[in-house]
Structure 1
Amino acid sequence: MPSLLSVRGTASFRAAAMFRPRSVVLLADPAVPETATIARNLAAGGFKGSLHVIGMQVEGLAAAESIEALPEAPDLAVLCLPPALLEPAMAALAARGCFAAVVPGAAPDLAAISARTGVKALGQGSFGLCVPAIGLNASLAHIAPSPGKLALVTQSAALARAVLDWAAAESVGFSHVIGIGGNATIGFAMALDWLARDVVTGAVLLDLRRIRNRRAFVSAARAVTRTRPVVAIRAGGRTADHSGIGDCVMEAALRRAGVLRVSGLEEFLSAAETLARVKPRLGGGPDAARGDRIAIVTNGIGMGQLAADAVLAGGGRLARLSPEALAAFQLLLPEGWRPGNPLSLGPASGPRLAEAATMLAALPEVDAVVALHAPAPQEAGDVAAESMIAAARTGGQRAAPVLVSWAGQATAGRQRQAMAEAGLAVFPTPEGAVRGALQLARDRRNRAAAAELPSREVLEVAPDRRSVRRILESVRASFRRSLTEEEALGVLAAYGVPTVPGRRAAGPQEAADAAAMLGFPAVLKILSPDLRHKSEVGGVVLGLGSAAAVKAEAEAMLARIRAKRPEARIEGFLVQRQAARALELRMRLGDDPMFGPWIGFGQGGTAADLAEDEAHDLPPLNLALAGQLIGRSRTARLMAGFRDHAPVNQPAVADTLVRLSQIAVDFPEIETLTINPLFADAQGVLAADAGLMLRPEGEAGVLAIPPYPAELVRLWQTKSGEVLTVRPIRPEDAAAHAEAFRKLDPEDVRWRFFSPLKELSPTLVARLTQIDYDREMAFVAVRRRPDGTEETVGVARLIRDPAEPSAEFAVTVLKSMKGQGLGRHLMERLFDWGRESGVREIVGHVLADNAPMLAFVKALGFELRRSPEEEDVMEARLAL
């Protein structure tokens, strides 16, 4: 039975040739500024493969006359050439069979040249590539990086040199340093896809400026964060977008991918220090979900207080130690001292500091330990440092991480260096150590949220799409892009969003008549495609208590607007019944140049922009994600109720966010959509005003996260006549998926997972149910129980690498459903999806003793052969 836990043979030749080459050639023009540095670093790196140079003589590199004269086709070429010579060189490389390159210099047309020649490249302006484990240093580095587990993917050569300089002083090593440069052909997605499979890489640092392919980036980032931390920094985000929306949207995209966003180089290096040395604690129970319960141990009260202040200021919690735990520390304290958190051992604590840190790290109520040391008279600081090093080496996998602050320089600097070389996360200040502990907590929360298992509850949105299409076609036919308020509210109503009843009126008398029909108090609004903010010109009046008041105000409103905006086209009035007092919210659908459509939520009303309370996320949203979006806004505290305001019906607000998200999915021609105000109270929500703008004709938004492919949902009848729903899996299937696993026979489990698993871990359930529909598909067959819940009775899965034409399959059917033709139907659905997605071959690995599966795949047309890697495994292949 195929395994879902690994995908064999997915590393493409180009990816392997780029990031793990066996042979490298330098095409060099000595006049190009980058040439001398690249040549020197290549020669001095100790590369374990073959190194050649064309165009100059370099000691340590074998010279060749031309690409054709090379003794073998190189895996990787480094092109230090003038722009005019790049295309002939890349064409010659392609003819020789080399399709991976690094371009450290100028290359204005690199994307076009790559498309014409087939050679993919890092660049233009790439910092280069370092793979220290194999001695490859094809970079512009001034210091050769040491081997380690950090990977740095950067667009900035200056930032790369700063990080490498810091790392050399801190004894931090790297698995890869990848210079994306201009991000013309090989971008972040391909680099992240490689690092997700690299067994050496333990954490990834990203320097982001421009994302070329939003969907591929988010997909690849999510693949990496499932197994290791990823930290990102973005320089120039606020400079490029003074509104700050683009920066907020990037943070939302990174959050959805499980990436930790940091601000500034100092925090970036702090995160690198922490992730390079610290293994996060496993488990910890429900109260550990935030991962921010920090215990502090110190040899000075003042140092401990500074650290405690930093914990609370950073949003963390001081761990509450049990009475039993506190009693255990009494023996470590001077006479008369009482234990607590911070735990102060006194200035002459010496090795007791390490002992106390180890004890704290073993406590289940502690997520991280910050150990603080200041120089003390009559204390052997070297001995204390050695004790801390020894304690770190004996720490268990389930112990909380220990971060050390060793303050001072004259004596402490040397001791700090020794601890860094020994692999400790050590900082010169208490605030630095606390920052590292809080970064671990944020990373834990981010990655947990990205893999959170939602409930079975699914909001079934059944909109009137035809009605919306008619509205949008009417707007286009009138050569408009902006919808009137009435039209925009009509779109919302078609998606099940409650809207304030209203009537269009041609003039003042008609407005008075409409108000009399709707009831009082009434709201009067001007209708004009040229007035985006009606309240700014007196185009909105509230609290009108009679038909006469409505008529008089309509006449006055016309006069005001004609005086202020004589050019504005007036199409009449919109009359509405005024809603009762409620909390005013705002929801927005917008578009970001880098990450596409986004959704904003926060305080509403006329002062919404001044309040600067807006949380952001990316569509598509489900109810769980909508709830998290609400919780990130300051308005969430008002929604909980205050003074004489009852709590708001938060599920109704989340419901509206999901419906807004579905509009973005269904109608990519919509550029912006704003609901303001959305009145919310204990009973529900009511949209009182809305604005909608279409994109220019022919343009469509592209979501950074692929939406659920609802078009693939089908009904299917078994041989016995039962009708099942066969559809793509979704995150809300987590509970049903785990339930189905528990119904499998032990032998089926062994055949499926190649091991006798007893239970699917939450992490694995999330991995199997939260899939990227661009690179993976899983069809589930479900039956609906009488109570309305769904039961999963079969699943088939196809996992592909975007750079490969092959994909690996897996299929399982519950024992009670075998013999019904379900397995074949699920596989045929996979075949159809694979063909449409560009898959050319399907591969599977089946245990040799799994006779039923071998017979099944053979009947489907698969060819079988024994795996060259594992004798007890058969390899099944089928060309599509």
Structure 2
Amino acid sequence: MLHCTMPAMISVRGSASFRAAAMFRPRSVVLLADPGQPETATIARNLTGGGFQGKLRVIGMAVDGMAAAASVEELPDAPDLAVLCLPPDRLEVAMAALAERGCLAAVVPGAAPDLAAISARTGVKALGQGSFGLCVPAIGLNASLAHIAPAPGKLALVTQSAALARVVLDWAAAEAVGFSHVIGIGGNATIGFAMALDWLARDVGTNAVLLDLRRIRNRRAFVSAARAVARTRPVVAIRAGGRSADASGIGDCVMEAALRRAGVLRVSGLEDFLSAAETLARVRPRLGGGPDALRGDRVAIVTNGIGMGHLAADAVLSGGGRLAQFSPESLAAFAMLLPEGWHAGSPLSLGPASGPRLAEATAMLAALPEVDSVVALHAPAAEEAGDVAAEAMIAAARTGGQRAAPVLVSWCGQATAGRQRQAMAKSGLAVFATPEAAVRGALHLARDRRNRAAAAELPSREVLDLAPDRTSVRRILEGARAEYRRTLTEEEALGVLAAYGVPTVPGRRAAGPQEAADAAAMLGFPAVLKILSPDLRHKSEVGGVVVGLSTAGAVKAEAKAMLARVRAKLPEARIEGFLVQRQAARALELRLRLGDDAMFGPWIGFGQGGTAADLAEDEAHDLPPLNLALANQLISRSRTARVMGGFRDHPPVNQGAVADVLVRLSQIAVDFPEIEALTLNPLFADSTGVLAADAHLVMRPEGECGVLAIPPYPAELTRPWRTRAGEVLTIRPVRPEDAETHGEFFHTLAPEDVRWRFFSPLKELSPTLTARLTQIDYDREIAFVASRRRADGRDETLAVSRLIRDPAEPTHAEFAVVVSRSMKGQGLGRHMMERLFEWGRANGVREIMGHVLADNAPMLAFVRRLGFSAKRSPEEEDVMETRLSL
């Protein structure tokens, strides 16, 4: 954890710099208005009616409550933010004038088809085109097209759709939900999701984020920024139009995979989106709870009507949750709340005249350790003071703090319940009109908890050491290019897999029927015969694959018959001979795929294999790069995973061997970005291992390369280094599998070194902090570890150096370094810093800074020897700011 107080800014052309604070928390705003533009009146009304705490000025029209200026040049000072309600042909002149005055942040609510190019030429970064606008209720800023002014709160909405923004604000006004920010990305031309999310990640006033996604402009920046936000608060995303844009559904699945890797909760449909907003804006998961609580899906139901309780229970089970189970002691405690003759159970029904007892039971359930969330259901009842019951429920939901399970309330009905529900919402409760909606909220909490935990999961120290024959693969690909082919033969595709250590079925190419018979005799029987043709994607569809051939004569005869069949069905197909293979033993057939998505780039799919794989619709997706932990998670998300464990006539499969192949396939995507698609089907898997029998590989058009949404491990930065004592250490970038060794290294540090490094006397590295230190975005930061191999074969960490670029100003970065006591005086600290300097220069860093405690004399002397300047921090008396220009 770095002690970081760097400002948020992005360098642009010219002497001025874009400041994120000028956009997202401005102190002065100017409206450049054309009264004829349809957005102008609404924007002007909202700006003056929001109670903005800064300066408001207008150019182009008179607006009550805004000081008028004749032109940008005549403004008394440079505004932080400009709102441009202008026709497209006037935008560039206006943005150039703003840039001259030093205003580099803008909102463009109308049409601006060339906004990206205008922004590049002028240096002004803008939300738009077609931006809904920007609201920051805490400072009274409403520079938006909203029909209702959002109230202040802790929820942030980042949206591309103005219509969805209005719906969410309308819902929020009725539900008494407030916002920290409403950010209209619009066309996503210059200021996109990544910059908005980077700001929200640092905003202490934001507790949860809602995302409306259409188009991601920079996949790496988006995933990195989303992950940064999701580390500390829930993020929920919706995507409209994904399935209609891609009927196969793969694009939607790949987006969900990308969001999952970032720790973001993906929901489907507006109802789910609003339900998640209601829940996350008001409740927080309980702290602690033990290993079983990590799933977060143990739902306790309490009701004053058993019918509603059963509806809620069904919703829990059909949604994949669990009904909380109570101990005998807990059930006995509830007995005093039940009518005479009633028995405690799950759901817990108190009878129609329960009144405040419903609230009392809710508080008791929330205190139980075996409960992750409580769904309290209320139906109107005769002879009951509904307002009193509602007030009691409000008090109960506030009992216990974050050590209690969150409470979600379904207050059903409308004539009487509607008014009570509104009062409960205004008091801060997560309240819903139906049992199913309340259960959805509880399950959203559980999914969010699992998603974020999985994104920060600490893998084991096991690393799959790969030694691929990249030269052989390069030769195969270049050979196909030389023949002007993008599609490899099956033999070539299997050769690529074999070069990466994937076991493949032995095979031989044969020119004709007799050669095929000879090849089969050499390989052994039973044999498989396949036609070779660059024009046949699915050979089995034209009778181009035959299995179970037991003699050379049968192979020869079938080869002749196969030629006749293929030529009769596809006379134009080019026939290049046959591929003869030894038939694999009976095993489970799997399909592994590498594909490419227009928005998120290369993806990996896993599921059922064989000729019916497309019909089975059993494919789980993830993004490369994968390690063994991620590969096993990918397998577990498929339906095929249940068969792999053994079922009836299916013996158990060696899942570790399958995960191994997925990691190798991922590495192919990393090493050869010119590959567009690679399908391995079938991959035979049994208890002994795996065997690839068929593969199909397509290269991208020459000159094109895929870009991974998640930067791969930079193995090329690994180097040996010799200490002054002559010991050779390995200096390499940190990786997620270093979590355990990071913890071991922490315990070797002296207490003073810990305080100097973390600005706190930490006793342990928490799992969250360990994940933050070992699971890094290699585009944004680097962390080098110095390690030695111990006698037991495990690595031991001896030093760590880290350089984190400010996402808003990537030319500036902050460093940290720590060396174990046993290695001090060996020159290791200097070398670790020099590696940071080298990486920084290669990645455009111009200045490195660091915060050092004023009493850390050894570090201050060390950095001064490296050329750093040092001065006392103006914000913290006991901290020194050190800086070095690269």
**TM-score normalised by L of structure 2:** 0.98
* 2:437 aligns with one of 432, 436, 440: 432
| Offset at residue 159 of structure 1 (A) | 0.3
* 2:339 aligns with one of 311, 334, 338: 334
Contact 2:776 2:782 in 1 (8 A): yes
| Offset at residue 387 of structure 1 (A) | 0.8
- Find the aligned partners of 2:730 and 2:640 in 1 and give their Cα distance: 40
* 1:848 aligns with one of 836, 846, 854: 854
- Find the aligned partners of 1:334 and 1:4 in 2 and give their Cα distance: 58
Deviations 1:210-256 (A, max 9, x none): 00000100000000000000000000001100111111111111111
Contact 1:7 1:808 in 2 (8 A): no
- Find the aligned partners of 1:781 and 1:293 in 2 and give their Cα distance: 44
The residue identity in structure 1 corresponding to 2:262 is A
- Find the aligned partners of 1:486 and 1:516 in 2 and give their Cα distance: 19
| Offset at residue 9 of structure 1 (A) | 2.9
| Aligned: 1:878 with 2:880 | no
Question: Where does residue 760 of structure 1 map in the other structure?
Answer: 765
Question: Where does residue 824 of structure 2 map in the other structure?
Answer: 818
| Aligned: 1:4 with 2:9 | no
| Offset at residue 5 of structure 1 (A) | 5.4
* 1:799 aligns with one of 792, 799, 804: 804
* 1:74 aligns with one of 76, 79, 102: 79
Question: Where does residue 14 of structure 2 map in the other structure?
Answer: none
- 1:345-384 alignment, distance < 5 Å: 345-384=350-389
- Find the aligned partners of 2:740 and 2:337 in 1 and give their Cα distance: 48
- Find the aligned partners of 1:7 and 1:467 in 2 and give their Cα distance: 49
The residue identity in structure 1 corresponding to 2:7 is G
- 1:232-251 alignment, distance < 5 Å: 232-251=237-256
Contact 2:8 2:20 in 1 (8 A): no
After superposition, the Cα gap between the structure-2 partners of 1:6 and 1:378, relative to the gap in structure 1 and judged at 3 Å, is farther
| Offset at residue 328 of structure 1 (A) | 1.5
Question: Where does residue 809 of structure 1 map in the other structure?
Answer: 815
Question: Where does residue 772 of structure 1 map in the other structure?
Answer: 777
Question: Where does residue 869 of structure 1 map in the other structure?
Answer: 875
Contact 2:265 2:447 in 1 (8 A): yes
| Aligned: 1:308 with 2:313 | yes
Question: Where does residue 614 of structure 1 map in the other structure?
Answer: 619
Deviations 1:515-570 (A, max 9, x none): 00111000000111111111111110000010000000001111111111111111
The residue identity in structure 2 corresponding to 1:711 is E
Question: Where does residue 748 of structure 2 map in the other structure?
Answer: 743
* 1:102 aligns with one of 102, 107, 111: 107
| Aligned: 1:453 with 2:458 | yes
Question: Alignment partner of 1:4: what SS?
Answer: coil
Contact 2:3 2:759 in 1 (8 A): no
Question: Where does residue 58 of structure 1 map in the other structure?
Answer: 63
* 1:295 aligns with one of 297, 300, 306: 300
- Find the aligned partners of 2:448 and 2:808 in 1 and give their Cα distance: 29
Question: Alignment partner of 2:630: what SS?
Answer: helix
* 2:710 aligns with one of 705, 713, 717: 705
The residue identity in structure 2 corresponding to 1:823 is G
Instruction: Decide which moves more: 298-307 or 448-457.
Output: 298-307
Question: Alignment partner of 1:599: what SS?
Answer: strand
| Offset at residue 787 of structure 1 (A) | 1.3
- 1:190-589 alignment, distance < 5 Å: 190-589=195-594
Deviations 1:701-737 (A, max 9, x none): 0000000000000111111111111100000000100
- Find the aligned partners of 1:390 and 1:291 in 2 and give their Cα distance: 24
After superposition, the Cα gap between the structure-2 partners of 1:11 and 1:118, relative to the gap in structure 1 and judged at 3 Å, is closer
- 1:550-699 alignment, distance < 5 Å: 550-699=555-704
Deviations 1:321-342 (A, max 9, x none): 1112112211111222221221
- Find the aligned partners of 2:647 and 2:303 in 1 and give their Cα distance: 41
The residue identity in structure 1 corresponding to 2:331 is L
| Offset at residue 344 of structure 1 (A) | 1.1
The residue identity in structure 2 corresponding to 1:279 is R
Question: Alignment partner of 2:19: what SS?
Answer: helix
Question: Where does residue 13 of structure 2 map in the other structure?
Answer: none
* 2:866 aligns with one of 839, 860, 864: 860
Question: Where does residue 145 of structure 1 map in the other structure?
Answer: 150
Overall identity of the aligned pairs, in %:
85
- 1:73-92 alignment, distance < 5 Å: 73-92=78-97
| Offset at residue 838 of structure 1 (A) | 1.1
Question: Alignment partner of 2:295: what SS?
Answer: coil
| Aligned: 1:161 with 2:166 | yes
The residue identity in structure 2 corresponding to 1:818 is K
| Offset at residue 395 of structure 1 (A) | 2.8
- Find the aligned partners of 2:772 and 2:642 in 1 and give their Cα distance: 33
Unpaired stretches in structure 1, ≥5 consecutive residues? none
- Find the aligned partners of 1:228 and 1:448 in 2 and give their Cα distance: 12
What is the aligned-residue RMSD (CA, Å)?
0.9
The residue identity in structure 2 corresponding to 1:73 is A
Instruction: Decide which moves more: 107-116 or 803-812.
Output: 803-812
Contact 1:7 1:799 in 2 (8 A): no
Q: How many residues align?
A: 878
* 2:839 aligns with one of 830, 833, 847: 833
The residue identity in structure 1 corresponding to 2:853 is L
- Find the aligned partners of 1:7 and 1:503 in 2 and give their Cα distance: 64
| Offset at residue 747 of structure 1 (A) | 1.0
Question: Where does residue 27 of structure 2 map in the other structure?
Answer: 22
Question: Alignment partner of 2:818: what SS?
Answer: strand
Contact 2:287 2:403 in 1 (8 A): yes
- Find the aligned partners of 1:34 and 1:9 in 2 and give their Cα distance: 33
The residue identity in structure 2 corresponding to 1:193 is D
- Find the aligned partners of 1:610 and 1:219 in 2 and give their Cα distance: 35
- Find the aligned partners of 1:191 and 1:152 in 2 and give their Cα distance: 10
**TM-score normalised by L of structure 1:** 0.99
| Offset at residue 801 of structure 1 (A) | 1.7
| Offset at residue 11 of structure 1 (A) | 5.2
The residue identity in structure 2 corresponding to 1:233 is I
- Find the aligned partners of 2:419 and 2:557 in 1 and give their Cα distance: 83
Unpaired stretches in structure 2, ≥5 consecutive residues? 11-17
Deviations 1:584-615 (A, max 9, x none): 00000000010000000000000000001100
- Find the aligned partners of 2:6 and 2:44 in 1 and give their Cα distance: 36
Contact 2:363 2:399 in 1 (8 A): no
Deviations 1:77-103 (A, max 9, x none): 000000000000000000000000000
| Offset at residue 392 of structure 1 (A) | 2.4
- Find the aligned partners of 1:394 and 1:533 in 2 and give their Cα distance: 63
Deviations 1:397-430 (A, max 9, x none): 2111000010011111111111100000000111
- Find the aligned partners of 2:198 and 2:555 in 1 and give their Cα distance: 63
* 1:172 aligns with one of 155, 177, 187: 177
Contact 1:404 1:424 in 2 (8 A): yes
The residue identity in structure 2 corresponding to 1:667 is F
Contact 2:804 2:814 in 1 (8 A): yes
